[in-house]
Structure 1
Amino acid sequence: MTASTTRRTTAKTRIAAVGAIAVAGTMLLTACGDQTDKPSKASSSAKASDSAPLADLLPQAIKDKGVIRVGSDIAYPPVEFKDDSGKVVGIDPDLGAALGKQLGVTFEFQNGTFDTLITGLRSKRYDLAMSAMTDTKDRQEGIDSETQKKVGEGVDFIDYFTAGVSIYTKKGDDQGIKTWSDLCGKKMAVQRGTVSHDLAKAESEKCGSKGKIEIEQFDNDLEAQTRLRAGGADAGSSDFPVAAYAVKTSGGGKDFQIVGEQVEAAPYGIAVAKGNPELRDAVKAALDAIIENGEYAKIIAKWGVKDGAVTEAKINGGS
């Protein structure tokens, strides 16, 4: 997703399939909320104490509050979503809880639509954005990738995972779709403002006589899945971990199938507003700490996405 400054990813390479994401697939049910939802605290809330070795790295205002407000589109399983009890769960909330232990604060996940998260950072509604957001140069610099115009001051990223993008169709009905070019003349359901959305728009411009891709865009990925499931689209696309989770869990594994290969591998980053290096560097130090102590690896393995793991935290590693 290279087009908008609030997308999820862009980088023209392919990573090996994240494979065993299905390990955790049947553990949890999915549901989605909206921006009016009350804040949800990540599991294992951490309070400032002597057991938080990196607490002194945080800005004083955050130490005083004991909370880091995290903007997140909490409808993107298995990265972040709500289980059947309404609890926020997933890769990001688990990592947030682990980071909070290091920093002596609670990571409080607040629901918002994906394409408003960076704006929320700019307005100081959130301290961080953590939502399977791809680290790109355009986002770092506040550039709208479609117009190449500057639309904001940009953000900094702490990179913590790597993922690509996959196409999926109804199971047993791939309609000959194997690559993005096969989508010409077909209808596609995607989440607005994502890499998948940008790829679909870019591919559509190249379709020529085959006919453009009819793109239906939705506020969240679960809505796009529902459209495809109901027969209102020929294909959908999501980040690979999300697509693989949907294939495993939707309809007990009977609704969808992944077609073709994963593309556009790039890092997920925790976004921090420019001009907040103290918070950025504290979160980076906490991420490096949980990578070193093995807690990061346990969380990644729990959700079956080990092939997307990183070995160190990086600042603005996206391209």
Structure 2
Amino acid sequence: MKHLLIATALAALAAGAAQAQTVRMGTEGAYPPYNYIDDAGQVAGFERELGDELCKRAGLTCEWVTNDWDSIIPNLVSGNYDTIMAGMSITDERDEVIDFTQNYTQPDPSAYLAKAGAEVDFAGGVIAAQTGTIQASHVASSGATLLEFATPEETIGAVRNGEADAVLADRAYLEPIAAEDAELDFVGEDVLIGGGVGMGLRESDAELKEKFNAAIQSMKDDGSLNALITKWEIGATF
């Protein structure tokens, strides 16, 4: 009976540990190549592949959930998921509310996309950007009129229908759009904003941050992170 009780207790502890290792990964699912929803309705992209490998190296079981960008930080803080992997650049402003792992991409150039042949006044024109992004903050501080939208698709639509003179977004996101639409083209010079992309966590989750930091560093050390960055054409490697 004693052995049975010990075995039962150990089984309960093992089950509890397995349950505790499940981490909910929050993403937008609307910002390729970082994250998007594939034809099977599943989260896909650079961050899905990277996140799954990080979880494997950290000994965690991860579940992916999607959330609109404009509420992605509040829903992390309130506990609806445990991390953010959504192409989120590390900034001082965000770091006052949540914590970040080390960056898993270099700062990605932001670029302006406009109608082909258009002359854009970057300091006095109307520039579209997604709400709550580093690009929106940059436009707001540049003197231009900021036109904000909840989704990246809407920012592109604003340029196509003439609401905005240009859109400012990550070049990695805009390049496939420009390649497929001859009526759109890049204008002006690229802009470097932010400190690269990292994983967002609640400030209270120091142990989880430590695990993911170690996993990210291991992928930097063995070259596998650079291989993923090259595969998904995210930007500069480490």
Regarding TM over 0.5, the answer is yes
TM-score (norm 2): 0.84
Unaligned runs of 5+ in 2: 1-14
CA distance in 2, matches of 1:156, 1:87: 25
% of aligned pairs identical?
26
Structure 2 CA distance for partners of 1:106 and 1:203, relative to 1, 3 Å: same
The structure with the largest alpha-carbon Rg is 2
Q: Indicate the residue corresponding to 1:167 in structure 2.
A: 112
Q: Which residue identity is paired with 1:234? A: D
Q: Indicate the residue corresponding to 1:155 in structure 2.
A: 99
Q: Indicate the residue corresponding to 2:152 in structure 1.
A: 221
CA distance in 1, matches of 2:64, 2:152: 18
The answer (yes or no) to whether the contact 2:33–2:234 under 8 Å persists in 1 is no
CA RMSD of aligned residues (A): 2.2
CA distance in 2, matches of 1:95, 1:63: 22
Q: Secondary structure at the match of 1:109?
A: strand
Q: Indicate the residue corresponding to 1:100 in structure 2.
A: 55
Q: Which residue identity is paired with 2:191? A: V
Q: Which residue identity is paired with 2:232? A: W
Q: Secondary structure at the match of 2:105?
A: strand
Structure 2 CA distance for partners of 1:184 and 1:261, relative to 1, 3 Å: closer
Q: 1:260 aligns with which of 183, 188, 208?
A: 188
Unaligned runs of 5+ in 1: 1-59, 143-153, 205-212, 311-319
The answer (yes or no) to whether the contact 2:172–2:235 under 8 Å persists in 1 is no
Post-superposition CA distance 1:63-103 (Å, at most 9, x none): 42553211212111111112334332211111011112212
The structure richer in helix per residue is 2
CA distance in 2, matches of 1:283, 1:228: 38
Q: Secondary structure at the match of 2:233?
A: coil
Post-superposition CA distance 1:186-222 (Å, at most 9, x none): 3222111111111111112xxxxxxxx3332111111
TM-score (norm 1): 0.64
1:304 Cα deviation from its structure 2 partner: 1.8
Q: Across the two proteins, how many residue pairs are aligned to each other?
A: 222
Q: Indicate the residue corresponding to 1:281 in structure 2.
A: 210
The answer (yes or no) to whether the contact 1:99–1:283 under 8 Å persists in 2 is yes
The answer (yes or no) to whether the contact 2:27–2:86 under 8 Å persists in 1 is yes
CA distance in 2, matches of 1:194, 1:138: 11
Q: Indicate the residue corresponding to 1:298 in structure 2.
A: 227
Q: 2:136 aligns with which of 177, 197, 201?
A: 197
Q: Secondary structure at the match of 1:262?
A: strand
Structure 2 CA distance for partners of 1:228 and 1:260, relative to 1, 3 Å: same
Q: Secondary structure at the match of 1:268?
A: coil
The 4+ residue runs of structure 1 with deviation greater than 6 A are none
| Higher relative contact order (CA closer than 8 Å, sequence separation 6+) | 1
CA distance in 1, matches of 2:16, 2:183: 48
Structure 2 CA distance for partners of 1:216 and 1:290, relative to 1, 3 Å: same
